[in-house]
Amino acid sequence: MTSVVVALAEPRASALGADLERDGVHVVGIVGPANLTAELLSEADTVILPATRAALTNELVQACDRSGVRIITLGAGDSRLLGRYGLPEALPEDADAWQIADALSDETPATVPPARPSRRRVIAVWGPHGAPGRSTVAIQLAVEVTRSGQTCALVDADTVAPSLALLLGLGDDSPGIAAACRRAELGGLDAAELGRLATRVETSGGSLEVLGGLNRPSRWPELAAGRLSATLQVCREWTDVTIVDVAAAFDADEEITDDLAGPRRNAATTTALREADVVVAVTAADPLSVSRFLRDHAELRRLIGPTARISVVANQVRPGPLGIDARGQIRGALERFAGITDVSFLPLDQRAADAALLHARPMADVTPRSALVAAVRRLAEALESERSAGPSVTADSRRGSSRVARWLRPAHEARAASPL
């Protein structure tokens, strides 16, 4: 007899469990999607889940694979998500028990084919604490994407220090991402509505759609995980590329709280990273930022989806804090402590940065010949040419930032001993 766990919301879960029992299916447990345990999975042959990203996590799918537990999903389903895990097509949300029983007896269920690389992408720009230049990179990258002929949206999902509107000279009273998230929760968000909520900015590369951030950091609960996830899904239908500027902290451990249903302070960052096809991970070119980057990189790798790729960028490269061979020092540290061999370098151009701040415009508009603008253009071209590639870097979470500090110390000691 087939044993199943029904992991659906009530009252649907109990009603379906009773119907399955009447049809001769042994139900070993009825729980909410978030309450599945290893003990329940060990007693079951199949688990019935909603076809949502919240329910189908990497950890759950891996646990089911290890236990040999089959997954059957109910609901409209995200074919891209189901295809990523090679799962069967989702049954209707209101499927009867006999339909599920038929699916249980089907030895060769039709699976959703893996999603093909799509031109429409979500790119999250992340970096550790300490202002490594996330927002600057996000803006310049968006300009270069529009220059390539693709439509691009720039989204400020930073719930700690939102800055895109200020950097682009926009008012902080525009609807922006918060209004889009509210519409998404009500089911009224589509591409046309996003176009109405966004502010169009004309740049040297073309028109850029901007969804400004929160005008007060205390409004962070408005960018809840479900809201932002739904908004980013609609963004895929709206523009070719959506670039999301996020805060530094993702702190997955914050979910271990007494109020499991409450909002999460860093939910916007976590959601954007999970939804992204590419994560542009930015570190400043100094020992402190590199150490922080390496400390968080292993957790970042665990957090993102299995098909997402990380592109590592060292920003503000100059000889000062790391000696003459700054690139060699950064490359060596990243390769030694995180296995990162592919790094893009962006030079420090203080004159261009100051001009962009003065005019509240992208650097490409006010200093088009800047070395930084040229470097970001090469980065955009590399991301476009590699969009179908898988993850190119790995991390060893056992290597800590303290070892990085010890590795970088000789350079500091050598400079301290120098008479200059």
User: Hey, what domains does the chain have and what are their CATH numbers?
Assistant: 3-105 (3.40.50.2300), 121-412 (3.40.50.300)
* 395 CB-near residues (< 8 Å, 6+ apart): 297, 298, 300, 301, 338, 339, 340
Longest dimension (CA), the chain: 86
Nearest to 155 by CA among 222, 224, 210: 210
Q: For the ranges 51-55, 142-146, 267-271, which has the lowest average pLDDT?
A: 51-55
Q: Which residue has the higher pLDDT, 260 or 209?
A: 209
Strands 46-50 and 70-74: parallel
Whether the bond into 162 is cis, omega within 30 of 0: no
Structure tokens at 18: 């009773």
Per-residue pLDDT band at 265 (split at 50, 70, 90): confident
Structure tokens at 362: 């992208």
Separation of alpha carbons 370 and 251, rounded Å: 36
Separation of alpha carbons 166 and 363, rounded Å: 14
% of the chain surpassing 90 pLDDT: 49
Separation of CA 33 from chain center: 22
Q: For the ranges 262-266, 337-341, 413-417, which has the lowest average pLDDT?
A: 413-417
Mean pLDDT for the chain?
A: 83
Q: Look at residue 416 and tell me whether its pLDDT is greater than 50.
A: no
Q: What is the pLDDT of residue 391?
A: 41
Q: What is the pLDDT of residue 25?
A: 85
H runs (alpha helix) in 360-396: 363-366, 371-385
67-93 average pLDDT score: 77
Per-residue pLDDT band at 263 (split at 50, 70, 90): low
Separation of alpha carbons 234 and 232, rounded Å: 5
* 257 CB-near residues (< 8 Å, 6+ apart): none
* 258 CB-near residues (< 8 Å, 6+ apart): none
Strands 343-347 and 309-317: parallel
355-401 per-position pLDDT tens digit: 999 999 999 999 999 999 999 999 999 998 876 444 444 333 333 44
Q: Look at residue 109 and tell me whether its pLDDT is greater than 60.
A: no
Q: Are 276 and 269 in contact (CB under 8 A)?
A: no
Q: What is the pLDDT of residue 262?
A: 53
194-235 per-position pLDDT tens digit: 999 999 999 999 999 999 999 888 888 999 999 999 999 999
Q: Look at residue 107 and tell me whether its pLDDT is greater than 70.
A: no
Q: Look at residue 46 and tell me whether its pLDDT is greater than 70.
A: yes
The DSSP letter of residue 91 is B
344 has which bridge partners?
Answer: 313
126 has which bridge partners?
Answer: 281
Q: Which residue has the higher pLDDT, 88 or 177?
A: 177
Q: Look at residue 73 and tell me whether its pLDDT is greater than 60.
A: yes
Strands 241-245 and 152-156: parallel
Cα dihedral value 409, 415, 418, 419, nearest 10: -140
Query: Helix 97-105 to helix 12-22 angle, to the nearest 10 degrees?
Result: 60
Q: Which residue has the higher pLDDT, 305 or 185?
A: 185
9-38 average pLDDT score: 86
147-204 per-position pLDDT tens digit: 999 999 999 999 999 999 999 999 877 779 999 999 999 888 999 999 999 999 999 9
Per-residue pLDDT band at 106 (split at 50, 70, 90): low
H runs (alpha helix) in 86-131: 97-105
Q: Are 310 and 281 in contact (CB under 8 A)?
A: yes
Residue 420, burial from CB neighbour count under 10 angstroms (0-12, 13-18, 19+): exposed
Q: Are 139 and 162 in contact (CB under 8 A)?
A: no
Q: Look at residue 403 and tell me whether its pLDDT is greater than 50.
A: no
Q: Are 177 and 202 in contact (CB under 8 A)?
A: no
Q: What is the pLDDT of residue 252?
A: 52
Nearest to 103 by CA among 115, 113, 114, 92: 92
Q: What is the pTM of this model?
A: 0.67
